[in-house]
Amino acid sequence: MGDGEKLLVANMVSRVGQFQVSEKADKDSETACVPGSKQRFFRASGNFLPGGPKDPGTAVGAAHGELLVMNYDRLVDELDFRDDNLSVIVMNKPDSAVTFIVAARTTEPNILIVGKTDCFKAAEE
């Protein structure tokens, strides 16, 4: 199980939202890489759970806590982007070259999670 899937089933995150994965980081993409390099993406979106907190800061805080446990470092503080309707955090794990961007908002889908690898040559997998 990759870090994206671990994040979605983590106790704190699973208490704030119900998610659907649209990309599992199992395919190479050349989207933003120099020719000959590739990267992979994990994408999931979801909505706040009925009866649960509907606060973007709570959702991002839950993801932040779980990513810290998985040894990710904060690159961008949620306070830089936070207001009542939107909260964003960017976390990176240097040893695996993976970055997660988590955004939560009051409009649906409420929570967006994108994980991406740095660009790598196909032989580096």
Q: The whole model's pTM is what?
A: 0.90
The predicted-structure confidence for 16-32, as pLDDT tens digits, reads as follows: 999 999 999 888 887 77
Q: Which helix (H) or strand (E) holds 114?
A: strand 111-117
Mark out the alpha helices in the chain (DSSP H runs). 3-9, 11-14, 56-69
Q: How far, in Å, CA of 71 to CA of 87, rounded?
A: 21
The predicted-structure confidence for 75-100, as pLDDT tens digits, reads as follows: 986 666 667 789 999 999 999 999 99
Residue 124: band (very low, low, confident or very high) from pLDDT cuts 50, 70, 90: low
The predicted-structure confidence for 35-48, as pLDDT tens digits, reads as follows: 888 999 999 999 99
The predicted-structure confidence for 51-80, as pLDDT tens digits, reads as follows: 888 999 999 999 999 999 999 999 986 666
Mean pLDDT of the 107-120 span? 95
pLDDT at 15 over 90: yes
